[in-house]
Structure 1
Amino acid sequence: MISIDPKQLSFAKKEHKKGLEKYIIRNVELSLSASNQTKLKQFIRENSEKILIGDLQQLLTLNKKLVKLIVEIDKDGVDILQKDLKKIFIYETIRGREEHLYNLYKLSKNLGIEVCPYCNRNYTTSHQYKVNVKDIEKNKYIFPAFDHFKSQTDFPLFALSFNNLIPTCSICNSSIKNATNINLRHPYNQDYITNYYTFSFTPNDYESLIGKKENIEIGINYKEGINQKVKEEIERTLQFFNTKDTYEKNHKGVIKEIINKKLIFTEKYMNELEASYKISFNDSYKILFESYYEEDKLHKRPFSKLKKDIFDDINIKANL
């Protein structure tokens, strides 16, 4: 799992609020007309900004307040509340919303998250192209799946919330996470998850050490002094997405390739490349290893976290 730079989220968050706030308020007026729905209407109007762009803790607090408010009116009113909320916060609408209106394609473009933050394996890019349907040219929009970090079935209030919509690959969204609500590390957390753990490799024979075979084990190492609660949350997240096992069973070739390139493109070679072309280490790394080294750019290429950590681990092993 990787984290997303909060600075990158700022613009997308503002556009999300601007694009959906009036839509939500209009839905409130159209969907809630009964006299016993007055407090719900007032609650949503007063909290529309927090509902749309509040952080996860703010959303959970709002949900508790709303449930308490409804129970005070009618102790059996929670089921009715769920139904009312689903009439207002309609996820399917913004998936297929017309192109001149705010929709998930625009959210995806504003976020600019190019690789699934859960697995860092599959692209989540967005683009549009022209299609001809019965001699009429139309725009076709391609964008990733969006995971509801907290299930919209259980938390319909969050169905359109910015911090509850995570662009992901279809494998992580549908095959792994689905409607699970366990306490996982949020990819928009301002504290980079990648600062707390690194991948390492252990070759089980000499040929794997020099990149000729893939008889390799992948390790996950936690930063010394890491807060125990943070560590448990990260461990739970990596285990939930089966990260180590997935990489080990399917992507040892990525590690083998990094080892091969590191043997060819030595530190001396990289220094000469940087001096000759007046480029930075980050630039030379990107050219040679086809990935990003900077923490705030790991979301731009598949396996960027794995490649960076194995690159560093080779350097550590070489200096032992």
Structure 2
Amino acid sequence: MKSIIAATLLALSTIAPTVSAHGYVQNVILNGNTFTAFLPFQDNYDPKPSPKRITRHIPDDGPVTNFNGKDIVCNVGAQDASQRTTSHGAVPAGAEVTFRWDRWPTDHHGPVTTYMASCGSDCSNFDTTGNVWFKIDHLGLVSGTTDTGTWASDVLIANNISWTVTVPPKLKSGAYLIRHEILALHSAGAPQFYPHCSQLVVTGSGTATPSSSELVAIPGIYKNDQSTMINIWNNGQTKYTIAGPAVTKIGAYTTTNAKNKLGGGPGAIPFKAGKILSGNAVTAAIGSTGDAVASGNNAGATTTTTTKAGTTTKAATTTKASVAAASTTSAKSCKVSTKKRNAAKASKRHAKKRLSTEH
């Protein structure tokens, strides 16, 4: 038995550098209320996580690589009916939504985007087919050149591995999917997508809806062009065009990226559990006005421990030269075959389950 455990630990130490360098959203904070997101290395082994999750299933911390398949919508398997959640979190129109990641590598440069889609009265069975998505936030290359400049992903790291957006203040109340994503461009010609979807109930008295020209289909926003296939390590590039439509102007809404760029991301936010809504509670919240569930608590809700990566800002002070050098090395190391990457991840998950260790 000891020999098996020793061999397993050796295997983990060998594959860890290739599978632990990415990230996922671990908390979604709605108007100051914290909802634990789907935790892949815990929830995939627990059929009834507590509290319930408002985010759709993700398999691990790896990327989606096919931007023309259904997995690009909310992550691998998230569109399958068996993997959807029936839970929603309430947020008033005009309030802030913060996505707190568990980690993000400094060399995985790229844009950060956020979309929303109206589900009507419930997102549990909403499959996102067709032109249903509208963009509420995006940021790409902030300054400098693509190889040594500042990207949205760098801003996210500097803001405590978090990103904050605002729900359009005049948005019509109802159930919505919110899709938050980092696109990693460190491996030229092989973009890596990290999408996450949460189910919201937007409350308030707003009546605004996006125009038909603002609605797009996913997949469909990404193409084989410079927005996805760019080689960011070519020196001197000072422009980058983000894929997809412009940010919606619904109800005279404008993006709130100024806050993120000025270091306005959240620090240590006091944990206040948000109330999980499902079934009739969703209908009741949609029919109300204001923040109907601003301070509810979950039975059994627990604070998610923040990793060191989530509480440090050292990455923000890394010199551009060292980041560029690390990026070049990482770009090469990330070009492993899909077969090897999946096998490594499966081995890691199996070992973690066997040894009962927490990721």
Do the two structures share a fold, i.e. TM-score over 0.5? Answer: no
Give the helix-richer structure, 1 or 2.
1
TM interval, shorter chain, is under 0.3
Give the strand-richer structure, 1 or 2.
2
Larger radius of gyration: 1
TM-score (norm 1): 0.24
TM-score (norm 2): 0.22
